[in-house]
């Protein structure tokens, strides 16, 4: 408890404007409220009141450490989404106890990292978790703490989705993190009436959350400058050079955008008739449609920056003279799929993944996918997608058996007949 208080005092000394106690997502504070992890039978566990004693003690200690006027937010778990997690009826009582301990706002997090239910991935519809923040607000209202602001969070990528949740009047704020990595200008652009110019977060977690669990620096798949702003400042050079970028996949589009933003003249050459490269395939996977938005966004931005995009132009020897006229050429021609040494690869029903993404109908009812990495699994999702599946928050919650309000999260079993194909993923 004293460690939390000390950390808060340091934050004040360092000039921060507020502190938030991380009491959700299965970390230490949250582990005290869940019977799954709190098996104590002393004054810190045993019943609901003793299980919430630790978070309440932390909140009170932090408040005391920073003084009455310094803003203290507390991120509590709205639903742990693990078997044996904090019972739902305990969540409201915890919110009330934290209010009494003097926090200034309650941010509501969702799920533990161990949860079998996706919480921040692309297939989770925006607004799905607002219902748990609403429960917290209702508990506060019922106990006379209704004025305490409640902050919803998790899985919003557009401010229009945020507006919708706020308009319903059940929560006071919505917290975002990843969308600011994808586009730090999200608020300014939306305020200026140009939400269409926002680089949308894909909820892919590849360069942010996934990296934060290791030792790599957090960045963003659609905005690789994120986290590297100091190393790569957007300083416009005085001498305007000419650059050719070969390949209009995500890497080529980003290279072109960066060069153009640095004031350079840029031409992009792409062999296919459409830009986007591998992102075009990703955008076909149910729930990952926003990958297409990244391509559209970059192409729009390139047009605004005066970049010339030549599609259907495969660069070859005949282009050497043309390319010599540039100050630099960026090769962003993508990856080559590894072809294993297997007999039968030339048979007519053996397709490479690009062909399978482009034309899934070319495959029969029983499919073996060789390779179980991201591409293979995405393809499996595409091939087994249930066209009847509703992508609303309500349908998502029902699919994960969360509507009854139970804390146990399980995947509702899908009948084999619902899938249009039988797919087997084979991995080395
Ligand atoms: Fe969003 Fe970028 Fe993180 Fe992907 S890497 S989830 S686009 S912030």
Residue 16's Cβ-side half-sphere holds a number of Cα atoms within 13 Å equal to: 15
CA of 164 to the centre of ligand 1 (A): 22
Residue 4's Cβ-side half-sphere holds a number of Cα atoms within 13 Å equal to: 22
Residue 143: phi and psi, rounded to 5, are -105, 10
Confidence of residue 265 (pLDDT cuts 50, 70, 90): very high
Residues 75, 90: Cα–Cα separation, whole Å: 15
8 Å CB contact between 389 and 357: no
Of 205-214, 331-340, 409-418, where does the model show the most confidence? 205-214
Residues 168, 130: Cα–Cα separation, whole Å: 10
CB contact set of 215 (below 8 Å; sequence gap of 6+): none
The secondary structure of 24-67 as a DSSP string is -TTSHHHHHH-TTT----STTSSSHHHHTHHHHHHHHHHHHHH-
Q: What is the mean pLDDT of the chain?
A: 93
Q: Which helix (H) or strand (E) holds 78?
A: strand 72-79
Active-site residue flag, 27: yes
Percent of the chain at pLDDT > 90 equals: 83
Residues 84, 30: Cα–Cα separation, whole Å: 12
Task: State if residue 282 touches ligand 1 by the CB under 6 angstroms criterion.
Answer: no
Residues 86, 79: Cα–Cα separation, whole Å: 7
SS3 428: coil
Residue 382: phi and psi, rounded to 5, are -65, -45
Query: Which whole number is the average pLDDT over 380-399?
Result: 89
Confidence of residue 156 (pLDDT cuts 50, 70, 90): very high
Q: For position 219, what pLDDT does the model report?
A: 97
Residues 182, 176: Cα–Cα separation, whole Å: 11
* pLDDT for 301 beyond 70: yes
Residues 316, 378: Cα–Cα separation, whole Å: 32
* pLDDT, tens only, 242-261: 999 999 999 999 999 999 99
CA of 103 to the centre of ligand 1 (A): 30
Query: Which whole number is the average pLDDT over 145-172?
Result: 95
Confidence of residue 18 (pLDDT cuts 50, 70, 90): very high
**Comparing C-alpha atoms, which of 347, 363, 356, 348 is closest to residue 379?**
356
**Comparing C-alpha atoms, which of 212, 221, 7 is closest to residue 113?**
212
CA of 113 to the centre of ligand 1 (A): 17
Residues 133, 48: Cα–Cα separation, whole Å: 20
Task: State if residue 122 touches ligand 1 by the CB under 6 angstroms criterion.
Answer: no
For the chain, give me the number of helices (H) and strands (E)?
17, 11
Angle at 162 between CA 158 and CA 163, to 5 degrees: 115
Task: State if residue 202 touches ligand 1 by the CB under 6 angstroms criterion.
Answer: yes
Q: For position 386, what pLDDT does the model report?
A: 85
Strand partners, 293: none
CB contact set of 415 (below 8 Å; sequence gap of 6+): none
Q: Of 50-59, 137-146, 388-397, where does mean pLDDT reach its minimum?
A: 388-397
Q: For position 141, what pLDDT does the model report?
A: 97
Q: Label residues 178-200 b or e (16+ Cβ within 10 Å = b).
A: bbebbbbebeebbeeeeeebbbb
Q: Which atom of ligand 1 is nearest to the CA of 181?
A: 8
Instruction: Choose one of 122, 200, 201 to mutate for the ligand 1 pocket test, by most ligand atoms within 8 angstroms of C-beta.
Output: 201
Task: State if residue 61 touches ligand 1 by the CB under 6 angstroms criterion.
Answer: no
* pLDDT, tens only, 401-425: 886 455 444 545 555 456 678 999 9
Token output for 128: 């799905």
Task: State if residue 219 touches ligand 1 by the CB under 6 angstroms criterion.
Answer: no
Q: For position 336, what pLDDT does the model report?
A: 82
CB contact set of 254 (below 8 Å; sequence gap of 6+): 224, 298
* pLDDT for 189 beyond 70: yes
Q: For position 235, what pLDDT does the model report?
A: 84
Task: State if residue 256 touches ligand 1 by the CB under 6 angstroms criterion.
Answer: no
Q: Of 79-88, 141-150, 292-301, 400-409, where does mean pLDDT reach its minimum?
A: 400-409
Token output for 322: 């043309």
Q: For position 10, what pLDDT does the model report?
A: 98
Q: For position 234, what pLDDT does the model report?
A: 85
CA of 410 to the centre of ligand 1 (A): 26
Q: For position 403, what pLDDT does the model report?
A: 61
Name the closest-CA residue to atom 1, ligand 1: 201
Instruction: Choose one of 204, 214, 225 to mutate for the ligand 1 pocket test, by most ligand atoms within 8 angstroms of C-beta.
Output: 204
Task: State if residue 225 touches ligand 1 by the CB under 6 angstroms criterion.
Answer: no
Query: Which whole number is the average pLDDT over 352-364?
Result: 92
DSSP-assigned letter for residue 422? E
CA of 219 to the centre of ligand 1 (A): 8
Q: For position 340, what pLDDT does the model report?
A: 85
């Amino acid at each position: 408890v004293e460690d939390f208080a000390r950390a808060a005092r340091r934050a004040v000394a360092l000039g921060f404007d507020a502190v938030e106690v991380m009491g959700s997502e299965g970390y230490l504070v949250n582990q005290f409220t869940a019977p799954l992890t709190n098996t104590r039978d002393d004054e810190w566990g045993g019943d609901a009141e003793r299980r919430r004693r630790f978070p309440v003690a932390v909140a009170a200690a932090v408040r005391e450490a920073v003084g009455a006027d310094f803003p203290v937010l507390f991120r509590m778990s709205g639903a742990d989404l693990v078997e044996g997690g904090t019972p739902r009826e305990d969540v409201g009582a915890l919110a009330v106890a934290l209010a009494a301990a003097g926090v200034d706002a309650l941010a509501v997090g969702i799920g533990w990292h161990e949860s079998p239910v996706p919480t921040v991935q692309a297939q989770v519809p925006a607004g799905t978790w607002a219902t748990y923040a609403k429960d917290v607000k209702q508990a506060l209202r019922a106990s006379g703490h209704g004025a305490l602001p409640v902050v919803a969070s998790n899985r919003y990528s557009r401010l229009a989705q945020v507006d919708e949740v706020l308009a319903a009047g059940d929560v006071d704020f919505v917290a975002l993190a990843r969308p600011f990595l994808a586009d730090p200008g999200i608020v300014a652009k939306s305020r200026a009436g140009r939400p269409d110019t926002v680089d949308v977060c894909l909820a892919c977690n590849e360069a942010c959350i996934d990296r934060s669990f290791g030792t790599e620096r957090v960045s963003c798949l659609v905005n690789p400058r994120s986290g590297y702003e100091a190393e790569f400042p957007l300083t416009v050079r005085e001498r305007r050079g000419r650059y050719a970028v070969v390949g209009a996949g995500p890497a080529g589009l980003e290279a072109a955008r960066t060069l153009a933003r640095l004031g350079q003249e840029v031409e992009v050459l792409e062999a296919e008739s459409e830009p986007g490269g591998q992102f075009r395939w990703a955008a076909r996977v149910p729930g990952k449609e926003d990958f297409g938005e990244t391509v559209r966004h970059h192409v729009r931005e390139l047009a605004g920056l005066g970049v010339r995009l030549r599609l259907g132009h495969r660069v070859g020897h005949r282009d050497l003279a043309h390319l010599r006229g540039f100050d630099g050429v960026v090769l962003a021609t993508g990856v080559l799929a590894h072809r294993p040494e297997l007999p039968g690869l030339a048979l007519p029903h053996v397709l490479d993944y690009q062909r399978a993404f482009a034309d899934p109908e070319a495959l029969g009812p029983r499919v073996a996918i060789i390779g179980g990495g991201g591409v293979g699994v995405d393809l499996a999702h595409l091939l087994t997608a249930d066209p009847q599946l509703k992508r609303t928050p309500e349908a998502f919650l029902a699919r994960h058996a969360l509507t009854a309000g139970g804390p146990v999260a399980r995947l509702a079993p899908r009948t084999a007949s619902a899938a249009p194909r039988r797919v087997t993923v084979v991995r080395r």
